[in-house]
């Protein structure tokens, strides 16, 4: 009876005799494991990127934007109707439980000029509560206060992209820029946030007092009470859905929207959007991993074919071993072990290749690198399973050989 040590030594010696064939046999498993690891890492990196991008907009955040309305029988596009007001924002802050911050804002765009340079960017009129609602901070300088907002002072806080484009070699705080023909003092620079989950550069922005933007940039002097959106931050994620429902109910009451009528506003739950995007990404990750796993199946078929060839070539060796007292179980374990060693070796090499491929792909695409221990362990276990599954038949066939017939074969 052969000991486990003898079995390992015999299997290793058989694989060393034909190193090129052994390497080619394991190549299918290497490609399969590498593909699975790389594709799963790519999918997980995309999920993390989406989660980080959505979270950068603000945690526990609801965005309320104007909807559409029927006017004279004509239905306008979403956002075409000025249905939100400052009074709506104040009512939400006052009457909806669980609200941490409410920030009405007015959007616009303008060409800004400073020190001979110019840049077209997004101008947003906000209140001081905007930073709390959006989880945003000021990198240098300060943010404007309630008094400056009420007085419609011409002050501005700029994003990192605007600061880089207009003031590449100097501190912007204290400098002046021209926006829509007016001179504004820069009192602060926002923390850098990068791109959002929707591909928008969040740092390409200028924040100014709400009334300033409404009067001087967006041209809404005649509609002084309307705003383009309201940001609502809930106290926790657990009550976000309830805050969304309560805010929507309150707005329906304020806007006198009857049951069954179309709302003239839309409440966007960023957590729900992030969850939907992550679920979609998970489906694609599973699809990519499934396609990559086909390579493991192909690698298993390659192992089986090569092991069958090996059984044929080593018929006399098998006959000699049986004549010297080796049992069927010994032959079965010997060839089965060879298949498992091949697949496991391919799995380890594939894991390294897959990690390197994942690093290259995620670096090229600007995604975070995530090689999960679970996916690596599953890939290795699956590669061992491939060796067992596809090495069983060649091992069984070798064990069934008659020793006398095997010794006669040339």
> Domain spans of the chain?
4-53+276-408, 99-233
pLDDT at 168: 86
Tell me which residue of 120, 115, 88, 117 sits closest to 104, measured CA to CA.
88
Q: How many CB atoms lie within 10 A of CB 387?
A: 28
pLDDT at 73: 47
**What number is the average pLDDT over the span 64-79?**
59
Alpha carbon 308 to chain centroid, angstroms = 44
Band of pLDDT at residue 222, cut at 50, 70 and 90 = very low
Q: Quick one: which H or E segment has residue 207?
A: strand 205-209
* CA dist., res. 158 & res. 122, Å (int): 10
Q: How far, CA to CA in Å, does 71 sit from each of 77, 129, 316, 381?
A: 11, 34, 92, 64
pLDDT at 311: 66
**81 near 66, Cβ under 8 Å?**
yes
pLDDT at 79: 47
**46 near 281, Cβ under 8 Å?**
yes
In degrees, to the nearest 5, what angle opens at C-alpha 173 toward C-alphas 171 and 179? 110
CA end-to-end distance (rounded Å), the chain: 27
Least confident of 87-91, 120-124, 260-264: 260-264
Q: Which residue has the higher pLDDT, 252 or 74?
A: 252
pLDDT at 286: 72
**What number is the average pLDDT over the span 282-302?**
71
Task: Give me the torsion for CA of 157, 159, 164, 167, rounded to 10°.
Answer: -10
Tell me which residue of 276, 273, 269 sits closest to 64, measured CA to CA.
269
* CA dist., res. 69 & res. 74, Å (int): 8
Q: Which residue has the higher pLDDT, 140 or 8?
A: 140
Tell me which residue of 383, 355, 395, 394 sits closest to 26, measured CA to CA.
383
Q: What is the pLDDT of residues 252-273, one digit of tens each?
A: 999 888 887 888 888 888 766 6
Q: What is the gyration radius of the CA atoms in the chain, in angstroms?
A: 33
Q: What is the pLDDT of residues 164-185, one digit of tens each?
A: 989 888 889 989 999 887 899 9
| Percentage with pLDDT > 70 across the chain | 69
* CA dist., res. 155 & res. 348, Å (int): 60
Q: How far, CA to CA in Å, does 144 sit from each of 183, 189, 212?
A: 16, 12, 12
Q: Name, in order, each residue with C-beta under 8 angstroms of 231's C-beta and a sequence gap of 6 or more.
A: 58, 61, 62, 63, 64, 101, 102, 103, 104, 105, 130, 133, 134
* CA dist., res. 125 & res. 244, Å (int): 24
* CA dist., res. 268 & res. 261, Å (int): 19
pLDDT of 365 higher than 80: no
**What number is the average pLDDT over the span 44-70?**
70
- Confirm whether pTM is higher than 0.85: no
Q: What is the DSSP string of 300-356?
A: HHHHHHHHHHHHHHTHHHHHHHHHTT--HHHHHHHHHHHHHHHHHHHHHHHHHHHHH
pLDDT of 314 higher than 80: no
pLDDT at 91: 92
pLDDT at 125: 92
pLDDT of 75 higher than 60: no
Least confident of 36-45, 94-103, 250-259, 375-384: 375-384
* CA dist., res. 234 & res. 108, Å (int): 26
Alpha carbon 228 to chain centroid, angstroms = 29
Q: How many CB atoms lie within 10 A of CB 67?
A: 21
Q: What is the pLDDT of residues 367-383, one digit of tens each?
A: 777 776 776 777 777 77
**What number is the average pLDDT over the span 241-260?**
88
Mean pLDDT (the chain) is 77
pLDDT of 112 higher than 80: yes
pLDDT at 304: 73
* CA dist., res. 257 & res. 381, Å (int): 59
pLDDT at 38: 81
Tell me which residue of 343, 328, 408 sits closest to 381, measured CA to CA.
343
Q: Which residue has the higher pLDDT, 267 or 283?
A: 267
Alpha helices by DSSP H, 171-263: 210-216, 240-254
**What number is the average pLDDT over the span 351-377?**
78
Q: How far, CA to CA in Å, does 206 sit from each of 88, 122, 254?
A: 24, 6, 31
């Amino acid at each position: 009876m052969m000991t486990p040590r003898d079995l390992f030594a015999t299997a290793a010696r058989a694989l060393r005799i034909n190193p090129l064939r052994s390497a080619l046999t394991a190549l299918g498993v290497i490609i399969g494991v590498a593909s699975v690891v790389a594709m799963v890492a790519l999918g997980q990196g995309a999920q993390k990127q989406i989660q980080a991008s959505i979270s950068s907009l603000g945690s526990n955040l609801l965005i309320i934007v104007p909807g559409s309305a029927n006017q004279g029988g004509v239905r306008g596009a979403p956002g075409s109707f000025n249905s939100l007001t400052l009074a709506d924002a104040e009512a939400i802050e006052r009457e909806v439980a669980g609200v941490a911050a409410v920030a009405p804002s007015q959007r616009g765009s303008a060409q800004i000029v400073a020190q001979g340079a110019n840049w077209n960017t997004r101008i947003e009129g906000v209140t001081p509560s905007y930073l709390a609602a959006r989880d945003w901070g000021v990198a240098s300088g300060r943010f404007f206060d309630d008094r400056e907002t009420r007085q419609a002072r011409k002050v501005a806080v700029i994003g990192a992209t605007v600061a880089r484009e207009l003031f590449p070699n100097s501190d912007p705080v204290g400098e002046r820029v021209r926006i829509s023909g007016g001179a504004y003092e820069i009192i602060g620079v926002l923390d850098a946030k990068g791109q959002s989950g929707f591909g928008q550069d969040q740092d390409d922005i200028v924040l100014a007092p709400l009334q300033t933007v409404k009067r001087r940039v967006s041209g809404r002097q005649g509609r002084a009470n309307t705003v383009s959106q309201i940001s609502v931050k809930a106290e926790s994620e657990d009550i976000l859905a309830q805050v969304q429902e309560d805010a929507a109910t309150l707005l329906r009451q304020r806007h006198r929207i009857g049951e069954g009528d179309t709302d003239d506003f839309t409440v966007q739950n960023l957590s729900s959007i992030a969850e939907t995007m992550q679920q979609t990404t998970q489906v694609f990750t599973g699809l990519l991993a499934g396609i990559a796993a086909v390579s493991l199946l192909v690698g298993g078929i390659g192992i089986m074919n090569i092991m069958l060839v090996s059984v044929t070539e080593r018929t006399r060796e098998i006959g000699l071993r049986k004549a010297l007292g080796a049992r069927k179980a010994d032959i079965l374990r010997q060839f089965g072990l060879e298949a498992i060693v091949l697949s496991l070796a391919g799995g380890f090499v594939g894991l390294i290749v897959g990690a390197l491929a994942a690093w290259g792909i995620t670096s090229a695409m600007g995604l975070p690198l995530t090689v999960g221990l679970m996916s690596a362990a599953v890939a290795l276990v699956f590669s061992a399973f491939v060796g067992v599954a596809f090495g069983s038949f060649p091992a069984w066939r070798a064990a069934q050989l008659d020793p006398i017939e095997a010794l006669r074969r040339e």
